[in-house]
Amino acid sequence: MTLIPRRALSVFTGLILLGGAPAVVRAAPIDQNEPAAAGAIDDTGHHLNVREKNGISYLSGGVGTEERDAMQAMSGRFNLELTIATPSGKYLGDSTLYIDDPQGKTILEVRTDGPLFMAKLPPGEYVIRALTEGRETNRTVSIPSAGMTQVTMGPPEAGAPSRAGDVPSEQHPQREMPLPSDRLPSD
């Protein structure tokens, strides 16, 4: 009797599940030189997948040490690493991120799957807006042509000062912040 290795079965199961993904979000090509941890399934059964939207590859998660380790093993594919946390270091998940180009156009809107988010962006200046726990935080970031930009952002705790780099609200273009569709009020 031939046994299928657990990792091969996990990859096969993940491939079957990808068939139901929305058309606008697709799995990015797998790098053949990527570490084995890239296909990790954490202890909650969550399978990490690099997604692509509007030509931007991204990865979201970081719930549990296995998933964080797997994401770190994949970090070489990205040039932005964002951690969503309070100033005291409490990780926050379930945020909606908006990445705006210098003209103020939102080029990526995504709901996070955990406190860590990585993306591959063209070099340049961006404003990242995070809607977490009903509060918005803005950061201006510069993405270099080589290397990684690491950013930590999230809502300040009551009475806590803002982090360096936060964009004062009077300097950021004012817009209506749409509620994610699953948070719209019911009639």
- Domain ranges in the chain? 7-156
Pairing of strands 56-61, 116-120: antiparallel
* Amino acid (one-letter) located at 136: E
Return the pLDDT at 160.
56
Q: Whole-angstrom Cα distance, residue 75 to residue 67?
A: 12
Q: What is the pTM of this model?
A: 0.64
Q: pLDDT by residue (tens digit) across 58-80?
A: 999 998 889 999 999 999 999 99
Q: Does domain 7-156 bear CATH number 2.60.40.10?
A: yes
Using one digit for the tens of pLDDT, what is the confidence trace for 96-138? Answer: 999 999 999 999 999 999 999 999 999 999 999 999 888 899 9
Residue 12 makes CB contacts below 8 A (sequence gap 6+) with 4
- Separation CA 185–CA 85 (nearest Å): 27
> What pLDDT was estimated at residue 155?
84
